[in-house]
Amino acid sequence: MIIPKAVVAEINEGRALGVSLPAIDALPWACVKTPEDPLLLPLVIGLGPGERETLAHALESPGSLVILDHGLARRYSTHLGLPLIGTLGILVRAKKQGLIPAVRPVMDQLD
């Protein structure tokens, strides 16, 4: 799974503030990358660097499933024809696959 460098920076900021988030370098499935075409990033306005890099990576990697919760970012993804899923969708899939026993407790932890 590709995690944009800007998203890693946001996660690290949260960790520094005491938010319980995983260390990305401890996740063997995580591949941290910066988009190859920086010209794509300024074309998307109104989003943070993490959302912009996520969209740029998806455009560079056809067939990607974009993980976004931010409303405007989701609208950009839809407009660009990129398949997307949000946190709730991931949790529902995890429940269906037996990876978690219930969705609500996990959602409650995210607040």
Strand partners, 33: 4
On whether the CB atoms of residues 86 and 65 are closer than 8 A, the answer is: no
Query: How far is residue 79 from each of residues 35, 56, 60, 75, 76, measured CA to CA in Å?
Result: 20, 13, 16, 6, 5
58-90 pLDDT tens trace = 999 999 999 999 999 999 999 999 999 999 999
34-53 pLDDT tens trace = 888 777 667 778 899 999 99
Q: Give which of 72, 32, 37 is closest to 51, Cα–Cα.
A: 72
Domain boundaries, the chain: 2-86
pLDDT at 3 exceeding the cut of 90? yes
Lowest mean pLDDT among 18-22, 24-28, 42-46, 69-73: 42-46
In this prediction, residue 110 has a pLDDT band, given cuts at 50, 70 and 90, of confident
Question: Which amino acid is residue 24, in one-letter code?
Answer: I
Strands, E assignment, the chain: 2-4, 31-33, 66-67, 84-85
Place of tokens 């529902």: 92
Residues 6+ apart with CB under 8 A from 48: 6, 10, 70
Question: Which amino acid is residue 81, in one-letter code?
Answer: G
Looking at residue 55, its pLDDT comes to 92
> Above pLDDT 90, what percent of the chain?
70
Looking at residue 111, its pLDDT comes to 63
Q: What is the C-alpha to C-alpha distance for residues 64 and 81, in angstroms, rounded to an integer?
A: 11
- Predicted structure pTM score: 0.84
In this prediction, residue 4 has a pLDDT band, given cuts at 50, 70 and 90, of very high
